[in-house]
Structure 1
Amino acid sequence: MSEMTHEEMVARARHIGEQADLEIAEAELKGGFSLKLREVVHTAQIHKLLRPKRYGGFGMGARTFSEVVRVVAQRNASAAWLVYFTALHEQWVAYLDPKGRQEIYDSDGFTADIFFPIGKVDYVEGGVKLSGQWNWGSGVKWDDWIGLGAFVEVPGMAGGPQPCLVTANTREIEIVGEWNPFGLRGTGSHTVRADQVFVPWHRVLPLAHIKATGRPIGGDWDDTTPIYRIPFMPMFCVGFGALAVGVTQRVVAEVKQRVRDRQRVLYGVKEWESPIAQRNVAEMLVKADTIEALQERYVQQLEAWDAANTPVVSEAERNRPNAWRSLMCKEASALAFRGIEMLGGAATTRGDVLEIAARDLLMLSIHVGQLYDDNMLAYGRAEYGLGGHPLL
C-alpha cells in the first residue's frame, strides 16, 4: 500500500463531510446515515487510518486522527462520530491475537464495539459462547464485526475473570432497530442481542491486560506503529475532543453571522451593533479558543508519548486527558445552548444547524467516556495515589 499523507487524509475527510451534509435531514429522521455514505467512507479508506501498515493500513498518528474527526464534525456531529469510530475500532483489533487481527483486517469490513462488560459467556472448546443484550452500538448497521463486553476468564492469564471485548460477526447477532434519542440521531447506535454466539479465543480481547501492559496479545507486532506507543485509552478517546472542537467551530461561525444579520425590531438596531451582543460574541470566541487549545494540548501529549514510546503511564497521567476531554465536551455543550439563547426562538426550529448541534453536543457531554463528575473524580483520586477511572 502506498504512503498516505496527513493532507490527503484530511481532504478525504472533508469530502465525507460534504457528502454527509446532503443526508443530515434524512439521517435525523431515520436515526442513521445511509449505506451510501458508508461506501463513501469505505472508499476513502478512513478505517485504515490507525491500522498497522503490516496489515494494509496507514499507521497514522493522533494529529491526523484528531483532524479528520474535527473536519467532519464541522458539518455534523453524528457523521463525525461514525467516521471516528470507523477508524478508532481498528485500534483495539490491533491488540488481538495475531490470528484475530489477520481475520478481521483481511475482511476489510468495519468494526463496532460496546465496552460495557454485561454479557454472559459459556466456556466451550476453543472459545466461548456469548449471550446478552447491549445498548449504544454506534454505527452497527455499517459494520461486519462487533466487540461486545463481558467478564471472561482468559486461559493463561492470572487474576480471574476480567473485562473483555468478545468479537462476533454482525451476521450472528440481532440488531434491534429502536434508536430514537434526543441527539446524535444520525449515529444509528442501535441495541444488539447475542444468543449463544460462538467466539474463538483469538477474537477475545482482555482489556485489563491491555490496559496494564500496553502490549498486544500473542506478540508479533511492530513498535513503530503509533497505536502501540501510546497509552491505549487516552488514544482511544482523543476523537471525542476533536468532535467537540469541530462542532463548536461551526456553532461559533453560525452565531457570529446570525448576530450580524439579525434585526432587533423592538429596538430599531442591528443585533451586532449592540454592545451586549458584541460582548457575548467575544465571549463565545474566547471559549471556543479555549476548547481548541485544550484539544491541541491533548494531541501534543499523545505525540510526546508516541515519540518516547510510552504505552504505559501512571494513573494520574492516564486520567488527566480524561479530565481535559470532559471539560471540553461540557463547555462545548454549554456554548451551543448559549448561542441559541442569544438568537432566540429562530434558532430552535427542528433541523436548524444550531438546534442539531446543541442536542448533539449535550449527548456528547453525557457519554460515559465524557461524564464530567466521573472524570474529575477519577483524576483527583489519581493525583492522591488512588485508583482512577475503572474503565478509561
Structure 2
Amino acid sequence: MELKEFTEQEVEKIRSNEEQMDREGAIPDELLAIIYDKQLFKLFVPERFGGRRTSLPESVRIFEEASSINGSFGWLVTIGSGGGFFSGNMKKEVLDDVFLPRNAVIAGSGAPTGTAVKCEGGYRVTGQWKYCSGAEFATTFTANAMIEDGAGEEPAMRSFAFTEKQVEILRDWNAFGLKATGSHSIKVENVFVPEERTFSIFESNGVVDDPVFSYPFMPFAQASFTGVLLGLGLRVMEEAEHYLDMLAEESAKKPVLRKVLDEQGDRLEALRSTFYNTIDGNWSLHLEGESGHEQYDEVSEVCAGTAQGVREIVFALYPYLGMYASDRGTPFNRVFRDLLTASQHALIAPY
C-alpha cells in the first residue's frame, strides 16, 4: 500500500518499537509524539481546537494505513480520534478544556454500566467501564450511566466527561493481541460531575456543523473498525510474503504458498475495493442529503462482510506458514494476534 499519511522513517520508528510494545503493553512516548504532531487524535475536531476536520472516507484510509504499520498504533489512532466526535455533542462551555490542549484525547466506553443520581448543579456518578483504550495517556474520560431519579420511571441514559483525577484506572487489559493499547477498565465512586460536563451522544450542541457530525454513529464506528481490520489484513499479507522470501528456492512449500498468497491477496483487494466504493458513494449521498436508512444499513452490511472476509483470509494463510506463524516473537504472529483481537469488537462481529 502506498504511504500517504506516514513517511518511511516514521514507519521504521513505529515498527522498531513493536517488540517492546508487545512485551511491555504500552505505547512509547516517541510514538505518541508522532500522533500529536500529525493531530491524529483530532481528525474530527474543528480547526479552532487544532483539529483537522477530516471526512469519513479520508479518516478510514488513515486508520487503515496506521493499522498496516502496527496494530496497537492503528487501534489507538482510531479510538483516540473517535473521541473527537463528541466535540459535536458536548456543551460549548467545556469544549476548550476538553479539546484545545495539544495532547487532548478521550478514552472511554459506550456501555451504560454506571449509575447517576441528580444533585444540585450536576450528578453523582458511580460505575465501572471496560475496554477504555488509551486510558494511560487520556486527558478526558467519557462514559455512559443510567440516571436514577427515584420516581420509579424508566431510567434514562446520559454521557459524562470525567477529568483524569476523578477516574481510577484498573490495569486489567490482558488480551493476547493489541497489547499496547492500554484498554483498561476505569472506575468512579460517587464522583460529582457538573451539569456542563454531561451530554447526550444523540444531540448536537449546535456549535459544530461539519457533515461528519450528522453522519449516524453506528456506521461511522463500523467503518472505522473495518478500516483497522483491512490495515491489519495488509500487514498479514506483507509478513506472509516475508516468510515466503525466507524459504529456500528448492522448497516444495514455495510454489504452494505463492499460489495461496496470490489468491488471498486478490480476495483482500476485492474486499477493499467494495468497501471503499461503498463508503465513498455513501459519503457523497450524505453530503447531498440523499442518504437514508437503507444506504446507511448498506454500509453496516458491507463492514460486517468485509470484516468476516479478512478473518477468513488470515485463517486461509495460517496453515501454510508452519510453526513460524505460531512463534509469538515473529511479526506475523503479532499481527495475527492483533487482527483476531480487533475482530472481536461487537460492532463488526458476525452476528
TM-based fold match above 0.5: yes
Measured after TM superposition, the shift of residue 16 of structure 1 is 5.1
Question: Any conservation in 1 of the 2:117–2:148 contact (CA below 8 Å)?
Answer: no
Aligned positions of 1:357-372 closer than 5 A: 357-372=335-350
Pair 295,152 (structure 1): closer, same or farther in 2 beyond 3 Å:
farther
- Does 2:165 align with 1:178? no
Q: 1:329 aligns with which of 307, 327, 333?
A: 307
- Structure 2 CA distance, aligned partners of 1:106 and 1:344? 50
- Structure 1 CA distance, aligned partners of 2:282 and 2:181? 27
| Equivalent position of 2:42 in the other structure | 48
Q: 1:83 aligns with which of 77, 88, 103?
A: 77
Question: Any conservation in 2 of the 1:32–1:186 contact (CA below 8 Å)?
Answer: yes
Question: Any conservation in 1 of the 2:121–2:194 contact (CA below 8 Å)?
Answer: yes
- Structure 1 CA distance, aligned partners of 2:299 and 2:332? 28
| Equivalent position of 1:313 in the other structure | 292
Measured after TM superposition, the shift of residue 75 of structure 1 is 1.5
- Does 2:270 align with 1:290? yes
- Structure 2 CA distance, aligned partners of 1:15 and 1:228? 34
Question: Any conservation in 2 of the 1:17–1:71 contact (CA below 8 Å)?
Answer: no
Q: Which digits, 9 at most, give the CA deviation of each residue in 1:95-145, with x for residues without a partner?
A: 212223233123441111200001011211121121111110101111010
- Structure 2 CA distance, aligned partners of 1:362 and 1:284? 17
| Equivalent position of 2:234 in the other structure | 249
SS across alignment from 1:283: helix
Q: Which has the higher contact order (CA 8 A, sep 6+)?
A: 2
Measured after TM superposition, the shift of residue 351 of structure 1 is 2.5
- Structure 1 CA distance, aligned partners of 2:288 and 2:155? 32
| Equivalent position of 2:225 in the other structure | 240
Measured after TM superposition, the shift of residue 50 of structure 1 is 1.1
Question: Any conservation in 1 of the 2:39–2:50 contact (CA below 8 Å)?
Answer: no
- Match of 1:78, as an amino acid? S
- Structure 1 CA distance, aligned partners of 2:12 and 2:85? 26
Measured after TM superposition, the shift of residue 293 of structure 1 is 1.6
SS across alignment from 2:204: coil
Measured after TM superposition, the shift of residue 302 of structure 1 is 4.3
Q: 1:31 aligns with which of 11, 25, 33?
A: 25
Pair 203,105 (structure 1): closer, same or farther in 2 beyond 3 Å:
same
Once the two structures are overlaid, the 10-residue window that deviates more, 139-148 or 196-205, is: 196-205
| Equivalent position of 1:67 in the other structure | 61
Measured after TM superposition, the shift of residue 55 of structure 1 is 3.5
- Does 2:135 align with 1:147? no
Question: Any conservation in 2 of the 1:337–1:358 contact (CA below 8 Å)?
Answer: no
After TM superposition, the score normalised by the length of structure 2 is 0.89
Q: 1:271 aligns with which of 253, 256, 260?
A: 253
Once the two structures are overlaid, the 10-residue window that deviates more, 344-353 or 327-336, is: 327-336
Measured after TM superposition, the shift of residue 329 of structure 1 is 2.1
Measured after TM superposition, the shift of residue 323 of structure 1 is 2.5
Q: 1:280 aligns with which of 260, 276, 281?
A: 260
- Match of 1:130, as an amino acid? V
Question: Any conservation in 2 of the 1:329–1:361 contact (CA below 8 Å)?
Answer: no
- Does 2:104 align with 1:125? no
SS across alignment from 2:322: helix
Question: Any conservation in 2 of the 1:333–1:358 contact (CA below 8 Å)?
Answer: no
| Equivalent position of 1:101 in the other structure | 95
Measured after TM superposition, the shift of residue 260 of structure 1 is 4.4
- Structure 1 CA distance, aligned partners of 2:266 and 2:191? 51
Q: Which digits, 9 at most, give the CA deviation of each residue in 1:121-174, with x for residues without a partner?
A: 1211121121111110101111010111212389xxxx9643332110122110
Q: 2:207 aligns with which of 202, 208, 220?
A: 220
Question: Any conservation in 2 of the 1:177–1:190 contact (CA below 8 Å)?
Answer: yes
Question: Any conservation in 2 of the 1:348–1:355 contact (CA below 8 Å)?
Answer: yes
SS across alignment from 1:115: coil
Gaps of 5+ in 2: none
- Match of 1:73, as an amino acid? S
- Match of 2:308, as an amino acid? K
- Structure 2 CA distance, aligned partners of 1:205 and 1:320? 29
Q: Which digits, 9 at most, give the CA deviation of each residue in 1:231-251, with x for residues without a partner?
A: 233223322111111111121
SS across alignment from 2:145: strand
- Structure 2 CA distance, aligned partners of 1:163 and 1:317? 28
Measured after TM superposition, the shift of residue 290 of structure 1 is 2.5
Q: Which digits, 9 at most, give the CA deviation of each residue in 1:342-377, with x for residues without a partner?
A: 11112221131211111111112211211111xxxx
Once the two structures are overlaid, the 10-residue window that deviates more, 297-306 or 33-42, is: 297-306
| Equivalent position of 1:376 in the other structure | none
Pair 169,313 (structure 1): closer, same or farther in 2 beyond 3 Å:
farther
After TM superposition, the score normalised by the length of structure 1 is 0.80
Measured after TM superposition, the shift of residue 42 of structure 1 is 1.3
Measured after TM superposition, the shift of residue 270 of structure 1 is 4.7
SS across alignment from 1:117: coil
| Equivalent position of 2:216 in the other structure | 231
Root-mean-square deviation over aligned CA pairs = 2.6
Question: Any conservation in 2 of the 1:136–1:190 contact (CA below 8 Å)?
Answer: yes
- Structure 2 CA distance, aligned partners of 1:160 and 1:99? 29
